[in-house]
């Protein structure tokens, strides 16, 4: 049964405030969240090659998301299952961090794949939603966080968590927003549909919201990262200067 947009957003907000937003492992024992360290995933846990683009960590062997990490790019070239590398990353994040520490949102992934990875029942995936509707929910969350920061008179989620109680801090966990985009095909979203991604990329980091883009370009060039960034540039998605890391299949061109 399809719900209208207002009801769906209201349900997501109720779930978010009760700590049930997107956990992929509801059976884990809930503990107080610890926000004093970045979210970290070693490359050995996802069987992928991590490249640090921030210049902070040459020879990177882990994905870091948070104060010292940032937005990321998944390079699909060479992977055996479409979207499999992003799903593996999402599953690993769900295994390592409870919902008071990390929430997850996905768009563009097959529900069967998500359920096979035991993510389908608890993840905010929006295969049946338009990209605009799904990004609208992310922008609503961004506005909620901005309001909280303005009321507390602090510039970032990190400062907010330091200024409030642990129970209040747990109401705004980090969010990783994973979107798989077909670019350069008939299914390519319009620039207008992709515009909210630019806002999330520019403003999300200080709000604890991190974007991971898995672009499907069909480009088989020797440098798939450069090709993906070129295509995103063409659609006015400013990933080139805001991307902190890439994750690539070990079977892809290097």
Q: Is the pLDDT of residue 3 over 50?
A: no
Neighbouring residues of 15: CB distance < 8 A, sequence distance ≥ 6: 21
Question: CA-CA distance, 30 to 114, in Å (whole number)?
Answer: 23
- 8 Å CB contact between 253 and 225: no
> In this prediction, what percent of the chain has a pLDDT beyond 90?
23
133-167 per-position pLDDT tens digit: 889 989 999 999 999 999 999 999 989 998 988 88
pLDDT value of residue 243: 86
Distance, CA of 116 to CA of 109 (rounded, Å): 12
Q: Tell me the average pLDDT of the chain.
A: 77
Helical (H) or strand (E) element with 146: helix 131-152
Q: Which two tokens stand for residue 132?
A: 């605009």
Q: What is the predicted pLDDT for the residue at 253? A: 60
61: exposed, middle or buried (C-beta count within 10 Å: 0-12, 13-18, 19+)? Answer: exposed
* pLDDT single digits (tens) 162-174: 898 888 888 889 9
What mean pLDDT do residues 173-192 have?
A: 84
d(CA 3, CA 151): 32
- What local confidence, expressed as pLDDT, does residue 2 receive? 35
Q: Could you tell me the residue ranges of all domains in the chain?
A: 38-248
Question: Is 3.40.50.300 the CATH classification of the domain at 38-248?
Answer: yes
What pLDDT is recorded for position 199? 92
């Amino acid at each position: 049964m399809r719900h209208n947009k207002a009801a769906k957003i209201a349900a997501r907000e109720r779930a978010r405030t009760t700590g049930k937003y997107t956990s992929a492992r509801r059976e884990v024992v809930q503990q107080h969240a610890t926000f004093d360290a970045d979210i970290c995933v070693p490359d050995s846990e996802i069987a992928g090659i991590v490249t640090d683009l921030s210049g902070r960590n040459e020879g990177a062997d882990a994905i870091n998301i948070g104060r010292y990490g940032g937005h990321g790019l998944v390079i699909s070239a060479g992977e055996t299952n479409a979207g499999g590398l992003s799903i593996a990353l999402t599953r690993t994040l769900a295994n390592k961090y409870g919902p008071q520490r990390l929430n997850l949102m996905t768009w563009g992934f097959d529900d069967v794949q998500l359920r096979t990875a035991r993510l389908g029942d608890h993840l905010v995936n929006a295969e049946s939603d338009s990209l605009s509707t799904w990004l609208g929910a992310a922008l609503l969350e961004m506005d909620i966080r901005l309001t909280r920061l303005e009321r507390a008179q602090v510039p970032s989620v990190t400062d907010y968590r330091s200024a409030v109680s642990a129970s209040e801090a747990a109401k705004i966990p980090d969010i990783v927003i994973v979107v798989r985009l077909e670019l350069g095909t008939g299914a390519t979203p319009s620039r207008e549909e992709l515009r909210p991604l630019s806002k999330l990329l520019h403003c999300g980091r200080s709000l604890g919201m991190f974007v991971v883009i898995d672009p499907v370009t069909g480009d088989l060039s020797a440098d798939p990262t450069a090709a993906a960034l070129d295509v995103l540039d063409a659609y006015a998605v400013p990933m080139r200067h805001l991307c902190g890391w890439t994750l690539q299949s070990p079977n892809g061109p290097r």
